[in-house]
Amino acid sequence: MIPTHVPDEPPLTYADSFDIPVLFRNGPAKKPRRQWRTAQHKAWTGSDGFPATDGWYAPTTTWREIIKAAAEVGRDVTPHLQNQPRYARGELVARISPLYAYLGAHAVKPRHPLPGAKGRRLTWNPVYAHGTERSMKNAASYRLGMTMTEWVCRSLLGLSQTEHLELGGPIPALYDTFKDPKKKLPDLWGRHETEGVYWLIEAKGGNVGLGTLRDGWAQLAAGSNVLGAYGHRTVLVGASVRPGDDLFLTIDHDLHPGKPPLAPAGSDADDEAAGPGNLEDHLGDSDDALIGAARAQMLAYLALRSAPASQLRTVPVATDPASRHRRSGLTTPLEDDSLTLAMRAEARVAATGTERHTRIRAMGLDDFLSCRIPGTEVHLGMSRKLFAACERLHEEDLAIARRTPGLRAEDQAPADLEISDEAQEEQRLTQRRIFREQQEEARPRLRLLLRDAYERGAASDWRDLLRHPQEPELDLEGDESLLEAATPETYVAVSRYDLPPARA
């Protein structure tokens, strides 16, 4: 049982901000002795890459930012969901719910507090500490490691996107080497536009010790040997936490100079570089950024596409993304977006009647489609332009499955009940790799198709995009129970009453 001295407290209502201690260093070392509390941390001022000096930092983030990272990191399972999009919601629950189930927050008093720090940090909650068996702890640690790795690489360090290395890595000529089942390689790779190099990334989570970090460093070394002459950085993220103590991150890294990254297969020489940070900041300039953003949001798209009409609503957001001045990270909390708040107040007075959607667009607001993900208190959404691009990409992925032998389940031989789990996983991995190769071959065509869909989406009504006779309900009143955030093309909201509970 949970000890009697642990209070049975309800979730508190507070803004969803937390401080995350982060230690940058040049290689694995022993776990620091509570330096996440005692060290004199440097203020995090934002970065498009690694800070100039290693050491301790204590950036502040939001639960919304962490949830966005959780929803977007991991294997691309959408090829398996082509005909059953409703199951996308189940995958989102699997990615998000362990964080709600096992993370809590507590107040801290660092020895050297930073100006602007929130004084709250994440930790394992009493359920994890006293009531969870080992296999579930391992699963929660895996999800925590992947989520915080995505958060630090994208929200903190400006990486444009992460992809699973198991599908073949960044260099087509090296696909077979990256796919060698005998090699133990890192989890993720990405291309950092500001640094102009590839990143190889390994994620570790839980009570991360030196042995675990050394294993991760060896996996990165194996990946580095494959990339060879291409410039790259190896990044090892340890998301370490023990019950009753603070979640902190160790970032062990090394830079390997070399040849510059290759353009994606089928890229147009006239296509602008995707640029640093969030792909959504560059969708007007780069067709490859548009393809990447649409792929990153396919789970959310499938969840929206398959939701009953009664569960959908649209939320007004200012059409000018420049109004959302992000202090750090990918999202802007909408309570900090004064333009959106002012325009919403104006729209509540002026936008009445059956044509409210048209009127708010004329006022400079866009209406992002959103729905609550069943089984969570998380709402995800996106703009009409990105929804239209995702829809076109989904249609093309369906066509790949139909024309590629062996990808459809009905074309495969009956399952051998004696086949091992490892063999089944290898079969599924082979199918995912074939699908990815087909997607890359289609890139030249996709660039034109998605650009056309994206531009047409701007002038489309939701009733047309959803193929439904009525527009979704436009929520001009707002929901005081939700904490909202937006990027240029996406929306995320969490219930302020269901944040990780604080504990004494």
Strands (E) across 126-278 are located at 163-164, 188-192, 197-206, 232-240, 248-256
Give the DSSP letter string of 234-281: EEEEEEE--TTS--EEEEEEEEE--BPPPPPTT--TTSPP--SS-GGG
Q: Measured on CA atoms in the order 216, 217, 220, 222, is the torsion positive or negative?
A: negative
What is the pTM (predicted TM-score) of this model?
0.90
Task: Say if CB 364 and CB 320 are below 8 A apart.
Answer: yes
- Integer angstrom CA distances of residue 36 from 42, 100, 216, 314, 450: 12, 23, 22, 41, 45
For residue 428, what pLDDT is reported?
74
Strand partners, 486: 332, 491
Q: What are the two backbone dihedrals, phi and then psi, of residue 66, each rounded to the nearest 5 degrees?
A: -65, -40
Q: Give the pair of three-digit tokens for residue 147.
A: 């989520």
> What DSSP designation does 482 have?
E
Exposure string over 178-211, b if 16+ CB within 10 A, otherwise e: bbeeeeebbbbbbbbbebebbbbbbbbbbebeee
> Which of 230, 156, 179 lies closest to 200 in space, CA to CA?
230
Beta-sheet pairing, 365-372 with 313-318: antiparallel
Q: What are the two backbone dihedrals, phi and then psi, of residue 481, each rounded to the nearest 5 degrees?
A: -80, -10
CA distance 23 to 17: 20
CA distance 132 to 134: 7
CA distance 393 to 295: 8
Beta strands across the sheet bearing 22-25: 55-57, 22-25, 248-256, 232-240, 197-206, 188-192, 163-164
Task: Say if CB 314 and CB 462 are below 8 A apart.
Answer: yes
Residues in the chain: 504
For residue 100, what pLDDT is reported?
92
Task: Say if CB 160 and CB 193 are below 8 A apart.
Answer: yes
For residue 418, what pLDDT is reported?
67
For residue 15, what pLDDT is reported?
64
For residue 14, what pLDDT is reported?
46
pLDDT in tens, the chain (504 residues): 667 776 676 544 446 899 999 999 999 999 898 999 999 999 998 777 899 899 999 999 999 999 999 999 988 777 777 778 888 899 999 999 999 999 999 999 999 989 989 999 999 998 898 889 999 999 999 999 999 999 999 999 999 889 888 877 888 778 777 766 667 889 999 999 889 999 999 999 999 999 999 999 999 999 999 998 999 999 999 999 998 899 999 999 999 999 998 876 555 555 544 455 567 887 888 898 899 899 999 999 999 999 999 999 999 998 877 666 665 688 989 988 888 888 888 888 876 666 677 778 888 889 999 999 988 889 999 999 999 999 999 999 888 888 776 665 555 555 555 677 777 777 777 777 788 888 888 889 999 999 999 999 998 999 999 988 888 998 888 888 899 999 999 999 999 888 887 663
For residue 167, what pLDDT is reported?
78
For residue 12, what pLDDT is reported?
40
Q: At what angle do helices 63-72 and 134-150 cross, to 10 degrees?
A: 100
CA distance 439 to 431: 12
